[in-house]
Protein backbone atom coordinates (compact mmCIF):
# COMPACT_ATOMS: atom_id res chain seq x y z
CA UNK A 1 0.00 0.00 0.00
CA UNK A 2 1.40 3.34 -1.05
CA UNK A 3 -0.44 5.30 1.59
CA UNK A 4 -0.95 5.39 5.31
CA UNK A 5 -3.95 6.86 7.02
CA UNK A 6 -4.36 7.97 10.60
CA UNK A 7 -7.98 7.56 11.64
CA UNK A 8 -8.98 9.36 14.82
CA UNK A 9 -12.22 7.85 16.16
CA UNK A 10 -14.26 9.60 18.85
CA UNK A 11 -17.42 8.26 20.43
CA UNK A 12 -19.61 11.27 21.29
CA UNK A 13 -22.80 9.34 22.09
CA UNK A 14 -23.98 7.05 24.87
CA UNK A 15 -27.15 5.66 23.24
CA UNK A 16 -25.45 2.61 21.77
CA UNK A 17 -22.51 0.60 23.08
CA UNK A 18 -19.95 0.36 20.28
CA UNK A 19 -19.35 -3.35 19.57
CA UNK A 20 -15.75 -4.52 19.74
CA UNK A 21 -14.12 -4.64 16.34
CA UNK A 22 -16.02 -1.63 14.95
CA UNK A 23 -13.06 0.75 15.33
CA UNK A 24 -10.74 -1.67 13.53
CA UNK A 25 -13.37 -2.13 10.80
CA UNK A 26 -13.66 1.66 10.33
CA UNK A 27 -9.87 1.91 9.98
CA UNK A 28 -9.86 -0.95 7.44
CA UNK A 29 -12.60 0.82 5.45
CA UNK A 30 -10.63 4.09 5.34
CA UNK A 31 -7.49 2.24 4.21
CA UNK A 32 -9.41 0.28 1.57
CA UNK A 33 -10.95 3.40 0.01
CA UNK A 34 -7.57 5.16 -0.23
CA UNK A 35 -5.91 2.02 -1.64
CA UNK A 36 -8.69 1.51 -4.21
CA UNK A 37 -8.46 5.14 -5.26
CA UNK A 38 -4.66 5.01 -5.51
CA UNK A 39 -4.34 7.86 -3.01
CA UNK A 40 -0.66 8.70 -2.54
CA UNK A 41 0.89 9.94 0.67
CA UNK A 42 -0.09 9.98 4.32
CA UNK A 43 -3.63 11.04 5.21
CA UNK A 44 -5.67 11.86 8.30
CA UNK A 45 -9.37 11.37 8.84
CA UNK A 46 -11.55 12.05 11.86
CA UNK A 47 -14.55 9.79 12.55
CA UNK A 48 -17.13 10.68 15.21
CA UNK A 49 -19.92 8.49 16.51
CA UNK A 50 -22.98 10.55 17.50
CA UNK A 51 -26.66 9.98 18.26
CA UNK A 52 -29.69 11.00 16.19
CA UNK A 53 -30.18 14.31 17.98
CA UNK A 54 -26.53 15.34 17.49
CA UNK A 55 -26.54 14.46 13.77
CA UNK A 56 -29.90 16.20 13.31
CA UNK A 57 -28.36 19.40 14.73
CA UNK A 58 -25.34 19.12 12.41
CA UNK A 59 -27.54 18.32 9.41
CA UNK A 60 -29.70 21.36 10.18
CA UNK A 61 -26.72 23.66 10.75
CA UNK A 62 -24.68 22.66 7.69
CA UNK A 63 -27.25 21.36 5.19
CA UNK A 64 -30.42 23.14 6.39
CA UNK A 65 -32.18 19.79 6.71
CA UNK A 66 -33.89 19.46 10.08
CA UNK A 67 -33.78 15.67 10.25
CA UNK A 68 -31.54 12.93 11.57
CA UNK A 69 -29.45 11.26 8.88
CA UNK A 70 -27.08 8.29 8.89
CA UNK A 71 -23.76 9.92 8.03
CA UNK A 72 -22.35 13.37 7.28
CA UNK A 73 -19.08 14.11 5.51
CA UNK A 74 -17.11 17.29 6.01
CA UNK A 75 -14.34 17.33 3.37
CA UNK A 76 -11.39 19.61 4.03
CA UNK A 77 -10.11 19.32 0.48
CA UNK A 78 -11.36 20.62 -2.82
CA UNK A 79 -10.53 19.28 -6.30
CA UNK A 80 -7.87 16.97 -4.88
CA UNK A 81 -6.13 19.75 -2.94
CA UNK A 82 -5.96 19.16 0.82
CA UNK A 83 -4.69 21.00 3.85
CA UNK A 84 -1.50 19.47 5.23
CA UNK A 85 -0.95 18.86 8.92
CA UNK A 86 2.20 20.90 9.65
CA UNK A 87 3.37 18.45 12.34
CA UNK A 88 2.90 15.20 10.42
CA UNK A 89 2.93 16.23 6.76
CA UNK A 90 -0.29 14.25 6.26
CA UNK A 91 -3.15 15.33 4.01
CA UNK A 92 -6.18 16.26 6.12
CA UNK A 93 -9.11 14.68 4.30
CA UNK A 94 -11.87 15.79 6.65
CA UNK A 95 -14.44 14.55 9.11
CA UNK A 96 -16.92 11.69 9.04
CA UNK A 97 -19.86 11.80 11.47
CA UNK A 98 -21.94 8.62 11.89
CA UNK A 99 -25.20 8.31 13.81
CA UNK A 100 -24.83 4.92 15.50
CA UNK A 101 -28.55 4.61 16.41
CA UNK A 102 -29.46 5.39 12.77
CA UNK A 103 -26.91 2.82 11.54
CA UNK A 104 -28.48 0.21 13.84
CA UNK A 105 -31.96 1.09 12.53
CA UNK A 106 -30.80 0.74 8.93
CA UNK A 107 -28.92 -2.52 9.55
CA UNK A 108 -32.16 -3.95 10.91
CA UNK A 109 -34.20 -2.49 8.07
CA UNK A 110 -31.86 -3.94 5.38
CA UNK A 111 -31.38 -7.23 7.21
CA UNK A 112 -27.61 -7.10 7.63
CA UNK A 113 -25.14 -6.61 10.46
CA UNK A 114 -24.31 -3.35 12.20
CA UNK A 115 -20.71 -3.98 11.08
CA UNK A 116 -21.73 -4.01 7.40
CA UNK A 117 -23.82 -0.85 7.84
CA UNK A 118 -21.05 1.03 9.69
CA UNK A 119 -18.56 -0.17 7.07
CA UNK A 120 -20.76 1.02 4.22
CA UNK A 121 -21.36 4.42 5.83
CA UNK A 122 -17.60 4.85 6.33
CA UNK A 123 -16.78 3.87 2.74
CA UNK A 124 -19.55 6.15 1.44
CA UNK A 125 -18.32 9.08 3.51
CA UNK A 126 -14.65 8.52 2.61
CA UNK A 127 -15.58 8.75 -1.08
CA UNK A 128 -17.28 12.09 -0.33
CA UNK A 129 -14.05 13.26 1.36
CA UNK A 130 -12.22 12.39 -1.87
CA UNK A 131 -14.63 14.49 -3.92
CA UNK A 132 -17.28 12.02 -5.09
CA UNK A 133 -20.88 13.13 -5.01
CA UNK A 134 -24.27 11.53 -5.61
CA UNK A 135 -26.59 14.43 -4.79
CA UNK A 136 -27.29 15.27 -8.44
CA UNK A 137 -27.91 11.61 -9.33
CA UNK A 138 -27.08 10.35 -12.82
CA UNK A 139 -23.61 9.17 -13.78
CA UNK A 140 -21.86 10.63 -10.72
CA UNK A 141 -24.18 8.72 -8.37
CA UNK A 142 -23.67 5.53 -10.40
CA UNK A 143 -19.85 5.91 -10.30
CA UNK A 144 -19.95 6.44 -6.56
CA UNK A 145 -22.18 3.36 -6.07
CA UNK A 146 -19.78 1.22 -8.14
CA UNK A 147 -16.80 2.43 -6.09
CA UNK A 148 -18.69 1.64 -2.86
CA UNK A 149 -19.46 -1.89 -4.04
CA UNK A 150 -15.85 -2.46 -5.17
CA UNK A 151 -14.44 -1.44 -1.78
CA UNK A 152 -17.10 -3.37 0.16
CA UNK A 153 -16.31 -6.51 -1.85
CA UNK A 154 -12.58 -6.12 -1.18
CA UNK A 155 -13.39 -5.93 2.54
CA UNK A 156 -15.59 -9.01 2.38
CA UNK A 157 -18.66 -6.90 3.10
CA UNK A 158 -20.47 -7.30 -0.20
CA UNK A 159 -24.26 -7.13 -0.09
CA UNK A 160 -24.89 -10.82 -0.60
CA UNK A 161 -22.47 -11.99 2.10
CA UNK A 162 -22.95 -11.97 5.82
CA UNK A 163 -20.02 -10.47 7.64
CA UNK A 164 -18.34 -12.25 10.51
CA UNK A 165 -15.66 -10.80 12.73
CA UNK A 166 -12.32 -12.67 12.51
The dihedral of CA 131, 155, 43, 1: what is its sign?
negative
Distance CA 71, CA 103 (A): 9
- Using a 10 angstrom Cβ sphere, with 0-12 exposed, 13-18 middle and 19 or more buried, the burial of residue 67 is exposed
112 has binding-site annotation = no
Question: What is the C-alpha separation between 39 and 62, in angstroms, rounded?
Answer: 27
Q: Is 31 annotated as a binding residue?
A: no
Task: For residue 93, give the nearest of 143, 25, 30 by alpha carbon.
Answer: 30
Give exposure, 35-61, as e/b (b: 16+ Cβ within 10 Å): ebbebeebbbbbbbbbbbebbbebbee
128 is known to lie in a ligand binding site: yes
Query: Residue positions in the annotated binding site?
Result: 124, 128, 134
Query: Residue positions in the annotated binding site for Zn(2+)?
Result: 124, 128, 134
Amino acid sequence: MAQSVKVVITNRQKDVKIPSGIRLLIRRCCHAVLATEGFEGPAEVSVSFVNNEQIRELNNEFRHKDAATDVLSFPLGENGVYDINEETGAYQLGDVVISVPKAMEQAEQYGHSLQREMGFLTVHSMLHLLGYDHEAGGLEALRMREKEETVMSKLGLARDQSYTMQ
